Structure formats: C-alpha cells, structure tokens
Amino acid sequence: MWCTVALKPEINSYVTTNRPPTDFPGSQFRFSIYKNKSPPLHYTSLRGLSMAIATSASTALVILPQLFTSTSNCRTFPLHRRWSIKTDGGRIYASVSAATSLPTRPDDLVASIVSKVMQTDRGVLLARDEHQKVAAMATELQKFCVDEPVKCPLIFGEWDVLYCSNPTSPGGGYRSSIGRLFLKTNDMIQVVEAHDIVRNRVSFSILGLLEGEVSLKGKLTALDKKWIQVVFEPPELKVGGLEFTYGGKSEVKLEITYIDEKIRLGKGSRGSLFVFQRRKPIS
C-alpha cells in the first residue's frame, strides 16, 4: 500500500500519509475530498487535508489520493483501501473497506458491469455499495464512448434493460416496492427503430397467475451529440384478454454515455444510470 490512515489525537481527525511510487520520480500526491455530489476539494499538504476533515460538519467524505507532476495531468491510482470519513458533532469516524482497482480496458469494463448487474432484478437486489461500484465502472467506461453517440448506427436494435440505479424508474408503479409484491417482471425491452421510433415493452405476471404487458411507442429527437428526448404516446395495457389505453403522453431525456455492439449506457435527466444489453448479436 502507498497510503495509510493515521490518527492525530491533537486535532481529533484522521489524515492520510503518503509515499509516491518509486517509478514516478519528481511526483507527489494530491488528496481529493469528495462530499456527496459537490465538486472535489484538492489538498497537497496533510495539514490542509486534516483541517478540512476536522471542520467538516455531518457529511460523508471520501478521500482519493492522486499522483501528479508539474507537467502532467493527475493520475488516479488504484487503492487497496478506500477511506470513508464521517463527522458528527465534532467527532470523527473512519471506516476502511477493501476496494479493488477498476479494469482499464473497455471490454473488461463491459464484462464487469454486465456480471455485476445480471440476476439482480435490474438493480433491485444490489446493495448500496454495489450500486456505487457499478457507477464507478460506468464512469470509467464512458471515457471510451464515441464522440457523437446519437449518430452511431449501433443505437438501433432490440435492447434488454439490465439495470437502473433507481429500480423504480423503468416501469413506474409496476416496479415500486408495492407493485413488486403482486407483479413479477418477466421482460423489459426497448426497441430503437430507424429513424426515430422507440418502443418500450414490460411484460409481467400477476401473482404468477395472469400474464400482462405494458407498451409505449415514442418519437426520438436528438438534442445534441449525446442527449436524446423521447416523447411517448399514452401507454397500452394488456391483461389476459383485455386491452386498453390509459394515461397521457410522457417524455424522457437520456444522455448516451457509452455504446458498442454489446451494451449501451445512459443517464437520465435526474441522474439515474441505465444499462442496456443488446438482445441479438450484430451479424
């Protein structure tokens, strides 16, 4: 390990001591503190770091060491440990948990994301820290996204919705905690057709006795190089031999953060992360 956590009783906080790797001469560590969704704060001295921790009130912190030189951008190093520090009423608590380094190749990232979200009922069964791991891998993978994903022909085809960081987002009330008591989701599929048609379909069973399906048809519009908007017509519901339309029109906005022959990643306007997997291989 390059970094350890040390207790400094005189200021009642935890600080991180460091020793740069020997294969990067002339470099030093910068410490980045992440507070919820706020922009990170950077410190190059342990004194500044410790004071920032000591004065932080009732907020969860994550400290991430970064190696940097005067002539290069910061490089984030994989850690054997991640330090999560929480302050409460002037007292400092620290928890140390194992953290594995992220894959660096896009194929490996894709495989890791798929294996992490498979068999989780599209994210429902994942613990909070597992959601965070998926988000970290998705952030790394988006670095390999094509420049203008909305113009990429790979967007077309049939996709399974494998995962959503907000499990109730796709499917609405059918996927709520109450809805899942009565309805089991069988398939959740999105079809993107040339040039601007999107079809969503959720099939389910009611108490294992009655089959049903909700489908929506929408028109896709590209907002810029990465963002799309889909305006859906009122949903159609089929249950047993009954079929009817209900509700009104709806719309969603989605940023395409990565796409290839196997998967597509998207982030909703409210920050929900989606993972889609292609149903049929591209011939």
pLDDT at 21: 42
List, for residues 244-255, the tens digit of each pLDDT value: 999 999 999 999
Closest by CA position to 47, among listed 17, 68, 88, 77: 17
* 27 vs 4, residue with greater confidence: 27
Q: What is the pLDDT of residues 193-245, one digit of tens each?
A: 988 999 999 999 988 889 999 999 999 999 999 999 999 999 999 998 899 99
Report the chain's mean pLDDT, rounded to a whole number. Answer: 76
Q: What pLDDT, on the 0 to 100 scale, is given for residue 280?
A: 83
Across 96-105, 133-142, 149-158, 233-242, least confident range: 96-105
pLDDT per position as a tens digit, 66-76: 544 444 444 44
Question: Whole-angstrom Cα distance, residue 123 to residue 140?
Answer: 19
Token pair for 106 = 């896009």
CB 187 within 8 A of CB 209: no
Which of the listed ranges 36-40, 77-81, 126-130, 221-225 does the model predict with the highest average pLDDT?
221-225
**Of the candidates 283, 200, 191, which has an alpha carbon nearest to the alpha carbon of residue 237?**
200
For residue 103, report the phi and psi dihedrals to the nearest 5 degrees: -60, 155
- Asked whether the predicted pLDDT for residue 119 surpasses 50, the reply is yes
Q: What is the pLDDT of residue 250?
A: 95
Helix or strand holding residue 268 (H, E): strand 263-268
135, 129 Cβ separation under 8 angstroms: no
Instruction: Name the more confident of 137 and 45.
Output: 137
User: What does the CA dihedral 169, 171, 176, 178 come to, rounded to 10 degrees?
Assistant: 170
Best CA proximity match to 276, nearest among 179, 191, 180: 191
Across the range 76-105, mean pLDDT stands at 47
Q: How confident is the model at residue 171 (pLDDT cuts 50, 70, 90)?
A: low
Hey, which bits of 70-165 come out as E strands? 72-76, 81-88, 91-98, 157-164
Beta strands 13-18; 3-8: pairing state: antiparallel
| Longest distance between any two alpha carbons in the chain, whole Å | 73
Question: Per-residue confidence at 273, pLDDT binned at 50, 70, 90?
Answer: very high
pLDDT, residue 207, reads 85
Q: Would you tell me the crossing angle of helices 106-117 and 128-141 to the nearest 10 degrees?
A: 160
Exposure b/e, 213-230, CB count within 10 A at least 16 = b = ebbbbbebeeeeebbbeb
Between 252 and 62, residue with greater pLDDT:
252
